[in-house]
Amino acid sequence: MSFRSVVVSAGGTREPWDEVRFLGNRSTGRQGCEVARAALETGADVTLVAGNVEAALIPHGVKVVEAPTAEDMLRQMNAAAAGADLVVMCAAVADFRPVRITGKITRHAETIPTLQLERTPDVLMNLIEHRRENQTIVGFGALTGSEAQVREQGRKKALAKGADLLCVNRVGDGHGFATETNTLIFFDSQGNERGQASGTKLEVAEVMLRLAGEIFQSH
């Protein structure tokens, strides 16, 4: 593998509702941090765009850029990706965000507030649309359902997104989020399954980097 510059996103975004509350998800950022660690071990220059990741999970030696919201993630990933050979969009970015309310809502309000949502930008699609020549882009998809359902959803998602490599994992019922292990199923941009890896999140990250390297070298 010959990646010199790698950008990885990790963690889950938090989308503000009022001045103190937010909508978030269960991602800790461990998988993205392990991708960054695996890339560091190959000698690459690594930037980690972190969405609310605990400092203890971040490997020493990466450049860290904070991106707490979906809008921040879009801006920081676009900036960091400009000079990267490999871009790995591993963060769990919210699909929707609340229409923000000014001030702090209190329990003494006359009416119970209704949470209005709006779509967030699709960061992975934006990166693909603005990719530079010979850049490899890897996306992640967290899906629910049986293994067969996850495989079929993953194939469709790979075709829709068009990333060079899409890494799909099953979440819920103890899978995926907040665990030290993971199972990834890999699809190329044509929806073809390129393999599967199970093990620690570092081990599956190493497999992902090898597959991404094969795609990079074939450009």
pLDDT band for 104, please (50, 70, 90 cuts): confident
Q: What percent of the chain has pLDDT over 90?
A: 84
Fold of 5-104+112-218: Rossmann fold (3.40.50)
Angle ∠(75,81,83) on CA atoms, nearest 5: 135
Classify the C-alpha dihedral 131-133-135-137 as positive or negative. positive
pLDDT in tens, 55-73: 999 999 999 999 999 999 9
Domain ranges of the chain: 5-104+112-218
Q: What is the pLDDT of residues 38-59, one digit of tens each?
A: 999 999 999 999 999 999 999 9
H helical segments located in 70-197:
70-81, 123-129, 147-161
pLDDT band at 107 (very low <50, low <70, confident <90, very high): confident
